[in-house]
Chains A and B, each alone.
Chain A
Amino acid sequence: MIIRPRWADFKVIGLYTGKVIIGVGILMVIPLTTSLLFGEWNSAIDFLIGIGACLVFGLGLEVLCQTPKNMAWGHGLVVVSFSWLMATVLGAIPHYLSGHFSSYLDAMFDVMSGYTTTGLYLLQDLDHVSHGLNMWRHVLTFAGGQGIIVIALTFLFQGTAGAYKIYVGEGKDERLLPNVIQTARAIWLVSLAYLVVGSFFLWISGMLLGLGPLRSFLHAIWIFMSAWSTGGFAPQSYNSIYYHSLLYEVITVPIFVIGSFNFALHWAVWTGEKREIYRNIEIISFFTTVAIALLLATAGLMKLGVYPDIAILFRKMFYQVVSAHTTTGLGTIYSRTFVRQWGTFSMLGIILAMAIGASACSTGGGFKGLRMGIIFKAVIQDVRRLISPESARIVEKWHHISTRLLDDATVRIAMLIVLSYVGIYALGTVIGVYYGYDLVQAMFDAVSAGSNTGLSCGVVSPTMPTLMKVVYIFEMWAGRLEFMSLFALAGYFVALIRGR
Chain B
Amino acid sequence: MIVYFLRHANAGNHLANPKKDEKRALDKEGIEQCGYVGRALAALDVQVDTVISSPLKRATQTAALVGNELGHEGKLQIDPALRPQATFAEFRKLLDKYARQEAIMVVGHNPNLSEFLGRIISDAGCEAAAELRKGAVAKVELRRTSGSLQWVLTPKILRTLHAAAADSSRPKSSRK
Note whether A and B form a binding pair.
no
